[in-house]
């Protein structure tokens, strides 16, 4: 059994764009309630209370001008921070910094050896760029945690992002740095954010370390299993990371209202199992998960719950078979052929 540090604060509920908005801040609270209901708190999972990230920590990634812009919007509480996805509201700066603080807290605890694994379901804001909000994301907690790790002597950090949307903000931040970023995402030429094609593989010191796997609509568990085995595993083996961060967005699930992929709990547990194995093989087990997208609340919560069980005591997973999706998905028709082309093209580009 490996005890897990799980960051949570009731202040996470303040990250609220309104009842009409697809981002629902109560997902994290429901996860904690489900863990409590099944007796996993304390014995398997330690809840840790984050503090807000400081301006100095935010400035590991974000510009002072941008932080000041968010603070002004946080006072006025009107309009949008971006082009229409991320509304401003009173207190948005504070609501965002407590979630960044959650990712920093579990990163610090894992890096310091107090826990082997950490999870901040309230994190995963991978669209935010140094001076720009986007896609419901104000501050990029993942990138801030990576910068913190590198500042504290961790040279090889790998980020694997399985959200249905491309990790465009994280890619922009590390495009010329020797941080490994692997992003699997839906791609059809129109799907948000419209980036993440295979040829976006980094520049300078980051060349060959930005691995984009753009999957066609309705990609199912059959194809995703190949992606894990033929791309993600060998890429991580070759890079040999000292610390891993997994953005565990559940909007690639087949029933997600904003997604275009058809994954089930089978794919989520397989990719988690692979990342967990790589963490123990290369990084002394040091692994941090964040949340991310996930707009079908129950499927998001149950998948995060299963991930928590896996990371603490995988032998107990069979006790929660009612939370598994019953049938794996298969990629239909021409999308299957497109997916095979993508896999082959990625393998060729990265010498796998």
223 within 8 A of 343, measured Cβ to Cβ: yes
Q: What is the mean pLDDT of residues 143-170?
A: 98
How much is the pLDDT for 2?
Answer: 76
Give the residue carrying structure tokens 């979630």.
Answer: 99
Residue 199 — pLDDT band, cuts 50, 70, 90? very high
Give the whole-number percent of the chain exceeding pLDDT 70. 100
How much is the pLDDT for 83?
Answer: 87
Q: What is the mean pLDDT of residues 313-324?
A: 94
Whether pLDDT at 42 is above 90: no
How much is the pLDDT for 305?
Answer: 98
CATH code of the domain containing 125: 3.40.800.20
User: How many domains does the chain fold into?
Assistant: 1
Residue 218 is among the residues annotated as catalytic for this protein: no
Q: What is the largest CA-CA distance in the chain?
A: 51
How much is the pLDDT for 212?
Answer: 98
Q: What is the mean pLDDT of residues 254-260?
A: 96
How much is the pLDDT for 80?
Answer: 94
Residue 58 — pLDDT band, cuts 50, 70, 90? very high
pTM greater than the 0.85 cutoff: yes
- 104 is in which domain, residue-wise? 4-349
Residue 48 has which token pair?
Answer: 């840790």
Round the average pLDDT of the chain to a whole number and report it: 97
309 within 8 A of 39, measured Cβ to Cβ: no
Q: Is 70 helix (H, G, I), strand (E, B) or coil?
A: helix
The residues, ordered by sequence, that sit 6+ positions from 195 with a Cβ below 8 Å of its Cβ are 166, 168, 171
Q: What is the mean pLDDT of residues 237-242?
A: 98
Q: What is the mean pLDDT of residues 32-42?
A: 95
Distance in Å from the first CA to the final CA of the chain = 34
Q: pLDDT tens digits, residue range 110-125?
A: 999 999 999 999 999 9
DSSP 115-160: -SEEEETT---TT-BTTB-BTTBSS-HHHHHHHHHHHTT---EEEE
**Active-site residue (options: 117, 127, 185, 253):** 127
Q: pLDDT tens digits, residue range 60-97?
A: 999 999 999 999 999 999 999 998 889 999 999 999 99
Q: Is 319 helix (H, G, I), strand (E, B) or coil?
A: helix
User: If we measure between CA atoms, which residue out of 187, 99, 172, 177 comes closest to residue 138?
Assistant: 99
Burial of 242-275, coded b for 16+ CB within 10 Å and e otherwise, reads bbbbbbbbbbbbbebebbbbbbbbbbbbbbbebb
């Amino acid at each position: 059994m490996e005890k897990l540090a799980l960051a949570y604060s009731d202040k996470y509920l303040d990250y609220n764009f309104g009842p009409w908005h697809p981002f629902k801040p109560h997902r994290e609270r429901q996860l904690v309630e489900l863990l409590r209901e099944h007796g996993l708190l304390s014995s398997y999972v330690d809840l840790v209370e984050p503090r807000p990230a400081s301006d100095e920590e935010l400035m590991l990634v974000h510009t002072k001008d941008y932080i000041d812009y968010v603070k002004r919007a946080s006072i006025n509480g009107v309009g949008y921070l971006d082009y229409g996805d991320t509304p401003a509201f009173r207190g948005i700066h504070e609501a965002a910094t407590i979630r960044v603080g959650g990712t920093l807290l579990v990163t610090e605890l894992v890096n310091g050896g107090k826990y082997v694994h950490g999870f901040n379901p309230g994190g995963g804001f991978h669209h935010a760029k140094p001076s720009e909000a986007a896609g419901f994301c104000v501050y990029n907690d993942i990138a801030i945690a990576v910068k913190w790790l590198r500042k504290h002597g961790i040279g090889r950090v790998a980020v694997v992002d399985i959200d249905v949307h491309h990790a465009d903000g994280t890619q922009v931040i590390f495009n010329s740095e020797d941080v490994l970023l692997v992003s699997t995402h839906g791609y059809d030429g129109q799907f948000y954010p419209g980036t993440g094609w295979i040829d976006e593989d980094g520049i300078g010191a980051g060349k060959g370390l930005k691995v984009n796997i753009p999957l066609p609509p309705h990609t199912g568990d059959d194809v995703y299993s190949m992606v894990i085995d033929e791309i993600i595993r060998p890429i991580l083996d070759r890079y040999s990371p000292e610390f891993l961060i997994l953005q565990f967005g559940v909007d690639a699930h087949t029933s997600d209202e904003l997604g275009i992929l058809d994954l089930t709990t089978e794919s989520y547990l397989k990719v988690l199992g692979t990342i967990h194995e790589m963490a123990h093989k290369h990084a002394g087990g040091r692994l941090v998960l964040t949340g991310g997208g996930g707009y079908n609340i129950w499927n998001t919560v149950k998948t995060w719950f299963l991930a928590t069980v896996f990371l603490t005591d995988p032998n107990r997973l069979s006790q929660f078979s009612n939370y598994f999706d019953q049938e794996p998905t298969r990629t239909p028709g021409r999308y299957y052929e497109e997916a095979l082309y993508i896999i082959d093209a990625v393998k060729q580009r990265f010498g796998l």
